[in-house]
Amino acid sequence: MLNIKTCLLGKLIQIITDIPLMQREADRLREAGKRIVLVPTMGFFHEGHLNLMRLGRKEGDHLVVSIFVNPTQFGPTEDIKAYPRDFERDCAMAESVGVDTVFLPPADAMYTGGYQTYVSLERLPLHLCGLSRPNHFRGVSSVVTKLFHVAKPHTAVFGEKDRQQLIIIRRMVRDLNFDIKIVGGPIVREDDGLAMSSRNFYFSKEERLSAPVLFQTLQAAQKLVEQGERNSRRIIAMAGELILSRPHTRIDYVSICDPETLEDVDQIDKEALMALAVYVGKARLIDNTVLHAVRD
């Protein structure tokens, strides 16, 4: 299905729900010499999403944003039905930053009866979020592969907030020889440092007060490194104490690892990725930063 609507800015935006139609539209754009940029999302937009779209707008001629709450990346204890959705709001926000096409495929079209084909990586998902969400990245890599084949982008934009996802997608693109440029968009934060996320919708007022502790922990870790601390275990211990000093918090993981392989590092002698996953109430938050060792 193709729906063309006029936005508040007087432009036209396409809403495509049919997979073959999206493929034909992508073919038409490519034949016309247009560069397609894809921003894959699960919707319920915030400023972080819009920043990725603005970045994508600069990367090509036709900006496609997909909205698909992907069932294969949710675990058995994660309630996909509870994931927040508001398509009309999302569409208006997408229009405001110049999106050309919103691709909104139904789940039964993306995963037809008897579906059995998945894309999985051997090592990168065995770290960080992959430890507590063992099938999550199989679902991510599979749906992104499908979106690449449907939207046929020259460039795709992903947020650095989920850095493990970004690393996995880059590795998959290299391994499978996709002719697609992958661009990472910086983390967008609230005034108190909390990384913007659709899951922030779940907070109570009291939980919201504890949520900035992730960013505060990353800042404290970088300060320790700048002061000469190089031992990852001591930094991780500090991080755990700081996080658990706030009410409503529960740690999934605190890790300091190699920024490319995600393997744990014991000593920080160059750049190292510090990544956190913390429950604040029922909301599972992730955040990260690259720790820079100061050279003498």
Distance CA 181, CA 157 (A): 9
Strands of the sheet containing 249-257, edge to edge, are 249-257, 272-280, 283-291
Find the catalytic residue in 46, 49, 127, 136. 49
d(CA 37, CA 45): 18
Whether 265 and 230 have beta carbons less than 8 Å apart is answered as: no
Torsion sign across C-alpha atoms 130, 136, 142, 148: negative
Q: How far apart are CA 28 and CA 14, in angstroms?
A: 14
Give the separation between CA 221 and CA 296, rounded to whole angstroms.
19
| DSSP-derived secondary structure letter, 125 | G
Closest CA to 283 of 82, 40, 89: 82
Among 290, 279, 288, which residue's Cα sits nearest to residue 133?
Answer: 279
Specify the amino acid at residue 53: M
Known catalytic membership, residue 49: yes
Measured CA to CA, the distance from residue 246 to residue 282 in angstroms comes to 15
Which of 220, 194, 211 has its CA nearest to residue 274? Answer: 220
Q: Which two tokens stand for residue 238?
A: 């500090």
Which residues, in sequence order, are CB contacts of 182 under 8 Å at separation 6+? 155, 156, 157, 158, 166, 169, 170, 173
Catalytic residues: 49
